[in-house]
Amino acid sequence: MGAIRTNGLTKRFGDVVAVDDLDLTIEEGEVFGFLGPNGAGKSTTINLLLDFIRPTEGSVEVLGRDAQTNPEAIRERVGVLPEGYGFDDPLTGREYLSWAIRTKRADDDAEELLELVGLTDAADRLAGDYSKGMQQRLAFAIALVDDPDLLILDEPSTGLDPNGIQQLRDIVRQRADQGTTVFFSSHILSEVEAVSDRVGVMNEGELVAVDTIEGLRESAGGHATLHLDCATPPGDMGVDALAGVAGTSIEDRTLVVDCTEPAAKVDVVTHVAERATVEDIRSETVSLEALFNDLTGGGRDDARAPEEVPQ
Amino acid sequence: MTLRDVARKDFTAARRSRGLWAVMTLLGLLTTLIAFGFSGYRLGPAETVIAIFRTMGGMFGLLLPIVALVASYMAIAGERESGGVKFLLGLPNSRRDVFLGKLASRLGVVTVGVAFMFTTATVMAVARNGALPLGVVAGLFAVSLLYTAVFVAVAVALSAIVAQRSRAIAAAVGSYFVLVMLYVIPGVSVALVVRFVHQTLLGFEPNVDLYNAVLYTSPLIAYRKAMNLVVPAQFERRVLQRASEGDVLPAYLGDEVSLLVFAVWLAVPLALGYWRFEGADL
């Protein structure tokens, strides 16, 4: 049984298709990073999981239950850090947290949770007066109440300083090690890369890739560019003919080889070393970043062709 | 059942609202002043006290809806606009818990408010006149509370339907106009419109009972009629016009029917509001 399972999930707002025929399964116990540029449909998907909004078509199951039939039963076992929340009631951080603990009928110690997210000193101030980062910490503490089986975190690092992001990561990792399933969204690749077991990439409402980080790297084709600095300008040495080589070019004394397979690199180096004096070798792997940009068309703004961009 | 947690948090927040305390103080002062300034003509002490509350009842008819609407118009719309609803529903609360919890809390707030107004007025009235007709005062309090509850129900329901502050304000003002003002402003009143349509446009014979029945759909008219139920006979007022002197009002225009009018105004808006909130994308 998956912790989250969507089936042909579609959500339209008028003419806009926010989520388009999404089939996604999150296994129990995994940390799943939900990646995509702004407006890709990540929050819409999360709002559908939590029954904040209703699907146009398809179905959602969370922890084996239909998300709409009995959302309270799901909320008993899920910790949520939503996006677009607000602490508008004149309550202190501690009171908000105590309210969450009471509502969940949990026996957490509010002090411990406040300590964990680094809010002990601010606990008795009104949550509405907190900075964005502190509100995010409080919202995270609320999500952690009652040690949920599933953590759903929408852009959890929003507003956090680097230190806060590190703490968040540590807590997420630690909870995951204890068996909690974590589903979190982000538009920042490095964040997802650091903690996720698996990654799903959304773009314009569609899921364009689901894989482990390693798998994604591989699907980048093990693409690498080799720079071989030679003692004298290299001539044509037949490198193009080697298996796994997509192309070569010569820049001054440097031979640049574009490899499509990781294994090709060694062959290229051996081949060239037999025919010329190689002084230095540099290798550049195609970064995950490049792959992410590739998958998402470089983000929402760049996705359109230049002539379509309104002047 | 987490309705209580929703209500408790909302009530705590309301208790800390300085604006609410300020309004309460002003209303308490107002009722105290009325009780102080009232002088009955050839009335005994108990009658004077009843007359004071009867006078206040006339003012309450216009004032209590404002109190209720102001206290409740943002109950749910505010949570939706600010994103507080994401916490409410991220925790194990159902939409029904949120809806009913908010309703309960806001009913609690106006109950405290109306009780405060009655207490200040009673204290002053008793101090000045030395008599306390407890049954009548309690009865008027109950009727006034019911009347206020109608507008809390309307406001919470509207608040559950709209998603923004601006629309919530418009809905609250609109409902005051439609449910109260249309029945009291001379010139644009519902009674005249109905009479005009029935007699002039449709060409029917005048039918005062019909016009009265239409008027009676207003919670304000119902409140005026309901007060007749709890005051001694000499203080009863004729709320609806009669075709000719000595005519007896048909049973469906009796004072007791006001309770039915209240019940409908409580149930229908709440049902509609809940239904829309249950199906809404938040």
Position A298 confidence tier, pLDDT thresholds 50, 70, 90: low
CA distance A33 to A187: 10
CA distance A93 to A108: 15
HSE value, Cβ hemisphere, 13 Å, CA-based, for B231: 28
Which domain-ending residue is among A218, A241, A265?
Answer: A218
Output the domain CATH number for residue A250. Answer: 3.30.70.250
Per-residue pLDDT tens over the stretch B103-151: 999 999 999 999 999 999 999 999 999 999 999 999 999 999 999 999 9
Residues A129 and A188 in one domain: yes
**Which pLDDT score is estimated for A240?**
81
Output the domain CATH number for residue A105. Answer: 3.40.50.300
Q: What is the helix (H) or strand (E) element at residue A84, kind and residue range?
A: none
Residue to mutate among B1, B76, B86, with most A CBs inside 10 A, is: B86
Residue closest to A210 by CA, chosen among A66, A36, A12: A36
- Residue A297 inside a domain? The answer is no
> How many CB atoms are located within 10 Å of the residue B257 CB?
18
Residues A51 and A170 in one domain: yes
**Which pLDDT score is estimated for B8?**
92
Number of Cβ pairs closer than 8 Å across A and B?
A: 83
Cite the beta strand spans of chain A per DSSP E. 2-13, 16-27, 31-35, 57-62, 65-66, 78-81, 150-154, 181-186, 198-203, 206-212, 224-230, 245-251, 254-259, 278-285
Per-residue pLDDT tens over the stretch B227-264: 999 999 888 888 887 766 667 788 888 899 999 999 99
Residues A247 and A103 in one domain: no
- Residue A259 inside a domain? The answer is yes
Per-residue pLDDT tens over the stretch A264-286: 888 888 888 888 888 888 887 76
Q: What integer is the mean pLDDT of B171-200?
A: 86
The total of structural domains in chain B comes to 1
> How many CB atoms are located within 10 Å of the residue A22 CB?
23
Residues A153 and A183 in one domain: yes
- Measure A57 CA to nearest chain B CA, in Å: 14
CB-nearest to A82 from B78, B90, B93 is: B90
**Which pLDDT score is estimated for A220?**
64
Residue of A nearest to B94 (CA): A72
**Which pLDDT score is estimated for A230?**
87
CB-nearest to A75 from B13, B83, B92 is: B92
Tell me the percentage of chain B whose pLDDT exceeds 70.
Answer: 98
- Are B227 and B187 in contact, with CB atoms under 8 Å apart? no
The total of structural domains in chain A comes to 2
Average pLDDT, rounded, for chain B: 91
Which domain-ending residue is among A174, A189, A218?
Answer: A218
**Which pLDDT score is estimated for A286?**
66
Residues A179 and A238 in one domain: no
- Are B112 and A73 in contact, with CB atoms under 8 Å apart? no
Give contacts of A 124-153 with B, CB under 8 A. 139, 142-143
Does residue A39 register a pLDDT over 80?
yes
Question: What residues have CB less than 8 Å from B211, skipping those under 6 apart?
Answer: B191, B194, B195, B198, B241
Stretch among A36-50, A91-105, B196-210, B267-281 having the lowest mean pLDDT: B196-210
**Which pLDDT score is estimated for A118?**
94
- Are A134 and A122 in contact, with CB atoms under 8 Å apart? yes
Per-residue pLDDT tens over the stretch B1-19: 588 999 999 999 988 888 8
Per-residue pLDDT tens over the stretch A178-233: 999 999 999 888 788 888 999 999 999 999 889 888 888 777 666 778 888 888 88
**Which pLDDT score is estimated for B195?**
84
- Residue A137 inside a domain? The answer is yes
CB-nearest to B82 from A53, A86, A99 is: A86
Cross-chain Cβ contact A99/B9 below 8 Å = yes
Which domain-ending residue is among A166, A184, A218?
Answer: A218
CB-nearest to B5 from A47, A88, A99 is: A99
Per-residue pLDDT tens over the stretch A137-170: 999 999 999 999 999 999 999 999 999 999 999 9
- Residue A34 inside a domain? The answer is yes
- Measure A111 CA to nearest chain B CA, in Å: 19
- Residue A306 inside a domain? The answer is no
Per-residue pLDDT tens over the stretch A125-135: 999 999 999 99
- Chain centroid to Cα B247, Å, comes to 30
- Are B166 and B74 in contact, with CB atoms under 8 Å apart? no
Find the domain containing B200 and state its range: 3-279
Find the domain containing A122 and state its range: 2-218
Higher-pLDDT residue of B185, B69? B69
